[in-house]
């Protein structure tokens, strides 16, 4: 549940109801990160990476793109120890990690857990757990995080 208001005087346009139980990215709820003016929502199902992306797109969103360290830490705090798909893969070309919007992974800050990505067993899609990423088989069934702009 959320209410958006115009961003006057630099005030965060998002006021979000967050339940006091469970993860802040509880299934069916959207949360706003003021530094990006995007909403984030976590699934309550488990699907492959491709099926997860399709679900996000049907909601006017896409899989999460992490743009900076602050956003990565924000997601990590909301997610806790849960693991979820994000919008990053190297399916098109091995070791060339790209976000779902086509941009190349920014290597100026660290996304990956130590020793990752390791491509064990053809792992071409990325997950986040806490604030670190790992590569997984795209066919694995996991929850996912969608991201959409506050104003579309």
β-pairing, 38-42 with 145-149? antiparallel
Q: If 0-12 CB within 10 Å is exposed, 13-18 middle and 19+ buried, where does residue 31 land? A: buried
Q: What is the value of pTM for the model shown?
A: 0.77
Where is pLDDT greater, at 25 or 86?
86
Q: Is the predicted pLDDT of residue 2 greater than 70, yes or no? A: no
pLDDT in tens, 82-126: 899 999 999 999 889 999 999 999 876 678 888 888 888 889 999
Q: Is the predicted pLDDT of residue 49 greater than 80, yes or no? A: yes
* Cβ neighbour number for residue 101 with a 10 Å cutoff: 9
Bond into 117 cis (ω within 30)? yes
- End-to-end C-alpha distance for the chain, whole angstroms: 17
pLDDT in tens, 59-81: 889 999 998 888 888 888 888 88
């Amino acid at each position: 549940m959320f209410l958006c208001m115009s961003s006057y005087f630099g005030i965060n346009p998002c006021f979000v109801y967050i339940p006091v139980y469970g993860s802040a990215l509880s299934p069916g709820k959207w949360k706003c990160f003021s530094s990006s003016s995007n909403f984030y929502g976590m699934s309550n199902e488990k699907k492959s990476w491709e099926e997860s992306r399709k679900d996000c797109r049907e909601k006017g969103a896409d899989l999460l793109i992490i743009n900076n360290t602050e956003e990565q830490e924000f997601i990590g705090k909301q997610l806790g120890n849960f693991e979820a798909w994000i919008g990053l893969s190297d399916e098109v070309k091995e070791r060339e990690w790209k976000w779902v919007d086509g941009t190349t992974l920014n290597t100026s800050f660290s996304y990956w857990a130590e020793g990752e990505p390791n491509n064990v067993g053809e792992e071409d899609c990325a997950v986040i757990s806490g604030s670190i990423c790992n590569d997984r088989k795209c066919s694995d069934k996991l929850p996912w995080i969608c991201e959409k702009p506050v104003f579309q």
